[in-house]
Amino acid sequence: MTKAVAKANESAVIVSDDIPAHLQGVMQDQRGSEEVAADDLVIPRIDLIQGLSKVRKKTDPNYIEGAEEGQLYNVVTRQLYGEEVMFVPVYFQKQWLLWRDADLGGGFGGAFPDQASAEAARQQMESPDEWENIDTPTHYVLVVHEDGTTEEAVISMAKTKAKASRYLNSLARINGGPRFSRVYKVKGVNEQNRQGQDYYTLQVETVGFAPEPIFKQAEHLYDTIKSGNVTVAQGDDTADAGGDVEF
């Protein structure tokens, strides 16, 4: 697909989503990024779109055209994945995240290694009662696309998604081997709470063993995470991050 992005002297500058001839064969070239280290990068978070998600509101700056309830999307690239994604789980970490009430404008207040640290930070906020300290199972993953390409991401499974987190952890233990030795699938599924309100949560299943190239990539990501040189892009859509419909 091509598009005109700028004009100079009445001539349109045309860019394309397809690799042009002069770049064929050089896309693995990383010149210009030689000094970019792991701690200079951010790992995007994958969110599940709910009925009240900002990405569905045309008047919101976070709006994504075509976003529907139950779809998964990347908070950094804004890419819609559809209702399911294949991934390799690489590392599990329990975190406590601070999120501001969506009715008060929302917002992310930080990620902490334990509840006490998160609560101390919440109390330091200008209006502590506007913030919620959320127990958040965090899964670092390698997303596997149908064409074999991969991308690093994080899937947070707080509140109603915690059941899927426990199930994934159980599957990884039952399957044995390194956590990143198998490929799984995660998808959005519709459920109802006791009040009859619809919401979407996550469902996980095993797909099979990870091919060697993907296993090696996941192993490298594991080493990077263990080194502590990672930053996660949390996004700012509290309808997804912590504002699920409660039971």
Please answer whether residues 98 and 122 qualify as being in contact, where contact means their C-beta atoms are separated by less than 8 angstroms. yes
According to the model, what pLDDT value does residue 1 have? 58
Q: Whole-prediction pTM value?
A: 0.77
Output the CA–CA distances (angstroms, integers) from residue 96 to 164, 192, 219, 229, in the order listed: 18, 26, 26, 19
Tokens 């701690």, located at residue: 39
Q: What is the pLDDT of residues 51-108, one digit of tens each?
A: 888 899 999 888 999 999 999 999 888 999 999 999 999 999 998 888 887 777 778 8
Most confident option among 32-41, 105-114, 203-212, 228-237: 203-212
**Closest C-alpha among 202, 191, 204 to residue 246:** 191
Task: Please report which confidence band the pLDDT of residue 133 belongs to, taking 50, 70 and 90 as the band edges.
Answer: confident
- pLDDT score of 244: 46
232 C-beta neighbours (distance < 10 Å), count: 19
**In degrees to the nearest 10, what's the CA dihedral of 207, 210, 213, 216?**
130
Q: What is the mean pLDDT of residues 123-132?
A: 89
Return the structure tokens found at 44: 């995007």
pLDDT tens for 169-210 read: 999 999 999 999 999 999 999 988 878 788 899 999 999 999
Token pair recorded at residue 202: 């996550």
CA distance 108 to 147: 34
Task: Tell me if 221 sits within 8 A of 178, measured CB to CB.
Answer: no
pLDDT value of position 239: 46
Distance from the first to the final alpha carbon of the chain: 45
How far is residue 17 CA from its own chain's centroid? 23
Burial 96-131 (b: 16+ CB within 10 A, else e): bbbbbbbeeebbbbbbbeeeeebbebbeeeeeeebb
